[in-house]
Chains A and B, each alone.
Chain A
Amino acid sequence: MSDGPPDHPTRPGSRVVIGLLRRRREQIAQRWADLPLFLAVFTVTRDEAVEACHAVVDSLVEVGESGRVDDLEAPGFHPIREQLVSMTASRGRSGLSIGQVDREVGALRDAVLELLGAESADLDAEDVAEARVYMVTLLATLRVVVIETMLQENQEIVARQRQQLLEMATPVIKLWDRLVAVPLIGMLDSARSQVVMENLLEAIVEHNATVAILDITGVPTVDSLVAQHLMKTVASARLMGAECVISGIRPAIAQTIVQLGLDLGPVTTRATIADALQWALERDRRGELPAPAARSSAHRTGT
């Protein structure tokens, strides 16, 4: 008899399971290799699949011996993490959802439980019961490890895509002599707003622009944070000697701005890019000062 919690490596249930996994390593691997989870992934040779199964069995043995059958972070799982990443990625590419992949991992359990049943004849009923619980727990933990692996992969994909979206040049268009426009599309978070602002200001330098049209037709909502980003962009452009016009203010947006009491400051706004362009051209035709802050009625010493 041994002391310790049920999953302690010296408990009979644990020893049965660990012993089974060791002795029946080949058999288990051969059975698993025919299951969809391995079969569909290792399509070149069956030996490859069997190899992979061996690695999983060995990993389970290691986890069992560490007594951490409930622990996702058990070091025993580390050797197969890479393998699990590529296997699940492959299943994912075949169109399976996380739930479907999870069911395939769950199917690994039956083969092992069958083998356990075959050996139970010589064992104490209590020990068999303990062994079953132990085995089921161990394999359940494996399932969760696989799910966690898939979720983390997804997170990394999302992060990569987010970065790509940021880097995709926010197109700044030269509309006319010394006039640039940037059509903003999508939600404007801090990171994106910063990229947009930097791109716009660089374009002002590149095209020697004195007017920049910021079109927000494609921006779904304007809250105080977005308004703040817009105002910073307008203020920065102004410091550089370019005036901004904000176009694409839909009625709903206009209402939101009023209701939130957002102060857009002394900036010109228009409903459409066309209107903004017209404003810019008329201003140009009238030969107005390119220096935008000429209407500095806000001068500290008063006029």
Chain B
Amino acid sequence: MTGTSPIPVIDLGGLLLISVRGELEDDEAVVLQTDVTDAVARTGSRGLIIDISALDVVDSFLARVLAEVALASRLLAARTVLVGMRPAVAITLVELGLALEGMTTARTVVDAAAGFGVTLTAADAAEQGSP
């Protein structure tokens, strides 16, 4: 399926939240990148939270897409936080030499929001389909 982003971008009021689902084709990732960057620009958000807790594989291509989203967002004055990476994925990325040092990370969406001074309850997060 190309041409449409299957991943909803949720506006938390100043913050954007996306939850990346399990299987992402390369072209879907590129569409996601475009959509998210557009959304950051359009909403003037100061923060972007990317929840990757559903991903069981992140290879160098997806890592690059995520890094570019963070970069673009930064240029748009928004900080990006990567949330919920799984242990096996983290270990593999480190072994690949892609520790994404420039990227901010957080354990949960609630933590990430707190980093922006926004208090989400677990219920809020659950509503958006995230831990």
Chain A contacts to B: CB under 8 angstroms: 178, 197-198, 201-202, 204-205, 208-210, 232, 235-242, 289-294, 296, 298-301
B10 neighbours in A (Cβ, 8 Å): none
Interface string of B115-127 (1 = CB under 8 A from A): 1000000000000
Identify B85's interface contact among A197, A240, A290, A299, CB under 8 A.
A240
CB contacts (< 8 Å) of A293 on chain B: these are 101-105
Q: How many residues of B contact A (CB 8 A)?
A: 30
Task: Kindly list chain B residues whose C-beta atoms are within 8 Å of the C-beta of A201.
Answer: 87, 90-91
Bound-state Cα–Cα, A289 to B112, Å: 8
B81 proximal to A (CB < 8 A): yes
Whether B90 lies near A291 (C-beta < 8 A) is no
Using known A-B contacts A291-B112, A298-B102, A299-B102, determine if residue A240 contacts B107 with beta carbons closer than 8 Å.
yes
Q: Kindly report which residue of chain A lies nearest to residue B58, judged by CB atoms.
A: A239
Q: Which of chain B's residues have a CB closer than 8 A to the CB of A242?
A: 107
Closest A residue by C-beta to B93: A239
Docked complex Cα distance between A296 and B100 (Å): 10
- CB pair A240–B115 under 8 Å, yes or no, is no
Contact B111–A291 (Cβ < 8 Å): yes
For B89, the chain A residues whose CB sits under 8 A away are 239
Contact partners of B71 in chain A: CB under 8 A: 300-301
Residues of B within 8 A of A (CB): 71, 74-75, 81-87, 89-91, 93-95, 99-108, 111-112, 114-115
Complex interface: chain B residues within 8 A of A235 (CB):
90, 94, 99
14 additional A-B residue pairs with CB within 8 Å, beyond A209-B107, A242-B107, A291-B111? A205-B86, A235-B99, A238-B99, A240-B105, A241-B82, A241-B108, A290-B106, A290-B107, A290-B114, A291-B81, A291-B104, A298-B101, A300-B102, A301-B74
> In the complex, are the beta carbons of A241 and B94 less than 8 A apart?
no
The answer on a CB contact under 8 Å between A239 and B105 is: yes
| B106, A241: Cβ atoms closer than 8 Å | yes
Q: How far is the CA of A235 from the CA of B104 in the complex (A)?
A: 12
| A64→B100 CA distance, assembly (Å) | 68
A239→B102 contact, CB < 8 A: no
Say yes or no: A291-B106 contact (C-beta < 8 A), given A241-B84, A301-B71: yes
Distance of A303 from chain B, by nearest CB (Å): 10
Given A232-B95, A289-B115, A290-B114, check contact A240 B90 (CB 8 Å).
yes
A204: chain B residues within 8 A (beta carbon): 87, 107
A296-B87 in contact (CB<8A): no
- Can you identify 21 A-B contacts, CB atoms within 8 angstroms? A198-B87, A201-B91, A208-B108, A210-B107, A232-B95, A236-B93, A236-B94, A237-B90, A239-B93, A239-B105, A241-B108, A241-B111, A242-B107, A290-B106, A291-B112, A291-B115, A293-B103, A294-B104, A294-B115, A299-B74, A300-B71
